[in-house]
Amino acid sequence: MELKKLEPVGTESLVDKVESRLLKYFKDNELVPGDAIPKEIDLANSLGVSRTVVREALLRLRTLGLVESKKRRGMIFKQPDIINNFARVLDPTLLGEDTMKQLFELRLILEMGMADFLFENRQQKDLEELERIVAEEEATATQKIRFSLDKEIAFHGKLYQMSNNVTLQKFQDLLLPVFNYVYLKETKTNPDVYHYSEGEFVSHGMLLDVLKKGTPESFRNAMRRHLEPHFDHAFRNGSR
Partner DNA sequence: CTTAGCATTATGTCATACATATAATATGAG
Partner DNA sequence: CTCATATTATATGTATGACATAATGCTAAG
Choose among 140, 93, 122: nearest CA to 212: 122
Candidates 222, 225, 227, 229; CA nearest to 207 is: 222
How far is Cα 92 from Cα 87, in angstroms, rounded to an integer? 11
**Residue 239 interacting entry, from a second copy, DNA, none, C-beta within 5 to 8 Å by type:** a second copy
Max CA-CA distance within the chain?
Answer: 87
**Among 114, 211, 235, 221, which residue's Cα sits nearest to residue 172?**
114
Interaction of residue 178 with DNA, rule CB under 7 A: no
Q: How far is the CB of 227 from a second copy (least distance, A)?
A: 9
The region of 64-72, 149-157, 179-187, 188-196 touching a second copy under the rule CB under 8 A is: 64-72
Q: Which of 116, 129, 173, 186 binds a second copy (CB under 8 A)?
A: 116
**Residue 79 vs 140, nearer CB to a second copy:** 79
Site string for DNA, 56-75 (x = CB under 7 A): x------------xxxxxxx
Q: Does 223 bind DNA (CB under 7 A)?
A: no
108 sits near a second copy (criterion: CB under 8 A):
yes
Q: Is residue 64 packed enough to be buried (19+ CB in 10 Å), middle (13-18) or exposed (0-12)?
A: middle
Among 26, 30, 17, residue whose Cα is nearest residue 75: 26
Partner interacting with residue 22 (select from DNA, a second copy, none; CB below 5-8 Å by kind) = none
Indicate the residue among 82 and 184 with the shorter CB distance to a second copy: 82
Residue in 23, 25, 26, 51 binding DNA, rule: CB under 7 A: 51
Binding partner at 65 among DNA, a second copy, none, C-beta below 5 to 8 Å by kind: a second copy
Phi, psi (deg, nearest 5) at residue 67 = -135, 160
SS3 (DSSP) at 193: coil
**Alpha-carbon distance 156 to 116, whole Å?**
15
Interface pick for a second copy out of 14, 16, 17, 56 (rule CB under 8 A)? 56
Alpha helix segments (H runs only) across the chain: 14-28, 40-47, 51-63, 82-89, 97-113, 115-121, 124-140, 149-162, 166-189, 204-213, 216-226, 228-236
**Residues in the chain, total:** 240
Q: Which residues pair with 69 in a beta bridge?
A: 75
Can residue 190 be called a binding residue for DNA (CB under 7 A)? no
Q: Which residues here bind a second copy, judged by CB under 8 A?
A: 23, 26-27, 30, 33, 55-56, 59-60, 63-66, 79-80, 82, 85-86, 88-91, 93-96, 98-99, 102-103, 105-106, 108-117, 120-121, 163-168, 171, 216-217, 220-221, 224, 231, 234-235, 239-240
Q: Which residues here bind DNA, judged by CB under 7 A?
A: 13-15, 37, 39-41, 49-53, 55-56, 69-75
